[in-house]
Amino acid sequence: MRALDGKVVWITGAGTGIGEASARMLALAGMTVVLSGRRADPLEQTAASIRETGGQAEVIALDVADRAAVFDAAATIDRIHGRIDMLFANAGTNLTPRNWSDAVDDPSVLDGWDTVIDANLKGVYNGVTAVLPAMRRQADGLIVITSSWAGRFYSKVAGVAYGASKHAVMSLSAQVNMQEGANGIRSCAICPGEVATPILDRRPVKLTAQELEQVIQPADIAEAALFVARMSAGTSVHEILIAPTRMRAALG
């Protein structure tokens, strides 16, 4: 098991859900966590809570689709800490109008789909590219990407843009492993089924309270990220596929 004390992790989409849970768990493991997301308030609240329990947390608010902001953030983290050990590319979004029928009825829906691609795909390769120089210099680095069950299989609830973006980041993660493994850099795509996060609020058909209790919880994904972070530098976990034990037919 690899010690994480003193190592630095940058988490995007860190204000709520998986990102927030992962920030708390990785901070408890001894990592300095840098929290990013579009809304500063939840980031600051999470960072303050981490500091209250003795952890190290910082905030850089940004939109992962803003390439210049992402590169500036990576440079700032590297300048302050002299290292970037882990990127958790977790930021992502979806929209309620998500199926072909929605776009046929109203082609302006495609503009919304562009924002999904910007966050879910472009945001990931912006972040990966921004941290690679520091990780190459260290000859060591871990990238964890929140993909989805919909990135591995067809999901009737995911929608066109979301499903396409999550399939794309699976290839992106594989490209990191094949191209950057020689530099000591490894990538893991975590592919969860339904997780109890705010993104479920955008579903055309909302989950019931009972269904929300049965889906994956953010802490479950945080534990998976911690597991990967603790693996030895010579071991690369390429993919983790996670589903609720009581799988709903909606996943298929």
pTM, full prediction: 0.93
CA angle (132 as vertex; 122, 171 as ends), nearest 5: 45
Structure tokens at 96: 């309620």
Q: Does the CA dihedral 88-94-171-108 come out positive or negative?
A: negative
**How much is the pLDDT for 248?**
63
| The listed CATH number (3.65.10.10, 2.70.70.10, 3.40.50.720, 3.40.50.300) that belongs to domain 8-243 | 3.40.50.720
**How much is the pLDDT for 164?**
98
**How much is the pLDDT for 201?**
61
Is residue 17 within 8 Å of 92, Cβ to Cβ?
A: no
Is residue 151 within 8 Å of 171, Cβ to Cβ?
A: no
**How much is the pLDDT for 178?**
98
**How much is the pLDDT for 25?**
98
Domain ranges of the chain: 8-243
Structure tokens at 41: 């308030």
**How much is the pLDDT for 111?**
97
Does residue 162 carry a catalytic annotation? yes
**2 exposure class (CB count in 10 Å sphere: 0-12, 13-18, 19+):** exposed
**How much is the pLDDT for 195?**
83
**How much is the pLDDT for 224?**
98
**How much is the pLDDT for 194?**
85
pLDDT beneath 70, residues of the chain: 197-207, 247-252
Q: Which of 10, 113, 125, 162 is catalytic?
A: 162
